[in-house]
Homo-oligomer: A and B are copies of this chain.
């Protein structure tokens, strides 16, 4: 019940769907690329399976193709964008390309974005900036799905942070959410008829649960207790409030098909060349990653990896052998392609 498709087949399908909904060629390509890069790395929660929701959001007028974002510069180093409900993916990628030369000129720059759709895999943008020689720290927010440490209600987003560093031959990109797991993993456990591990979630009354159904009505635990909780709150403040968007329960529309998307994003760019360690930076990053990979493994582990190792290996394999999808995911996507 699995269908394997080539990257080109998936990109062609996705761009055809977005173009048929009046996305520009650039919007269609970038949105398709963000989804496909997630699938190539095995992060299916952020891949093709999101297409039906994206299409419905466009049809419902909540995600608007072909809009002109309103851009404000408070200095050459700070760009703020009102995305006018456009594609979060294309707007973030294009604005990052715009601000990159200023990060190179001044050594540091910041980009805040509000009123755009879900960014997808946050590491996408950091990978591109790192390929261009820049360090990129990205923050974004989600609907409140996570309870505060010791709390019984969902009041904090899964608020991820991603950081990308230039490093040969491939950028080093770390990408984490501040919840102990994703709602996607809880849903997957439910579909497999399995329990979730203890410590992942509480039910709607705040009691610990291993029942995925109860977890879906409850909330997820912050990773590392008070640490993930505090970090998630900070990321909400940086991405949501600073950009002029929302925070906590006022964040809507990153996954549903009924609400305008009210999350915000924040990107910080640093040019290594502006810092004393800049000249040897890429090679020293690579050397340190090799030291980590060379660490003696604990019992039960075959080796020690660094962030991205698994995703890069899978990407290489899937570029060659294709991307596997559950039959129903591929067929649901195919049904969204317009007749010509």
Contacts and interface: CB of A to CB of B under 8 A. Distances in A.
Interface of A: 72, 74-78, 80, 82, 105-110, 112, 114, 135, 147-153, 155-156, 161, 163, 165, 172, 174, 176, 180, 202, 206-207, 223-224, 226-228, 230-231, 233-234, 236-238, 240-245, 247-249, 264, 268, 270, 272, 274-278, 281, 284-285, 288, 291-292, 295-299, 301, 303-307
B80 A176 contact: no
Contacts of A248: 288, 291-292
A275 B148 contact: no
A224 B230 contact: no
A224 to B, nearest CB: 4
A303 B272 CA distance: 44
Contact of A75 (B106, B112, B236): B106
A209 to B, nearest CB: 12
What 3 A-B pairs come out closest when comparing CB atoms?
A244-B276, A78-B107, A150-B301
Contacts of A237: 165, 172, 285, 288
Given A227-B223, A230-B307, A237-B165, A108 B268 contact: yes
Contacts of A285: 237, 241
Given A107-B78, A224-B223, A296-B206, A234 B276 contact: no
A148 B307 contact: no
Contacts of A295: 147-148, 151-153, 155
Interface of chain A, main secondary structure:
mixed
B304 A150 contact: yes
A238 B291 contact: no
Contacts of A202: 298
A150 B275 contact: no
Contacts of A78: 106-108, 274-275
B110 A242 contact: no
Contacts of A276: 72, 80, 82, 112, 114, 242-244
28 contacts: A74-B274, A74-B275, A75-B105, A75-B106, A75-B108, A75-B274, A77-B107, A78-B106, A135-B238, A148-B306, A151-B296, A152-B295, A153-B295, A174-B231, A174-B233, A223-B228, A226-B307, A230-B306, A233-B288, A233-B292, A233-B307, A241-B288, A242-B270, A242-B275, A242-B281, A243-B275, A244-B277, A248-B292
Contacts of A226: 307
A122 to B, nearest CB: 13
A308 B284 CA distance: 36
Given A150-B305, A155-B295, A165 B234 contact: yes
B80 A296 contact: no
A82 to B, nearest CB: 7
Contact of A150 (B109, B161, B297): B297
Nearest to A302: B150
A112 B152 contact: no
Contact of A180 (B224, B296, B299, B301): B224
Contact of A268 (B206, B223, B268, B296): B268
Contacts of A110: 107-108, 270, 274-275
Given A276-B82, A295-B147, A298-B152, A281 B106 contact: no
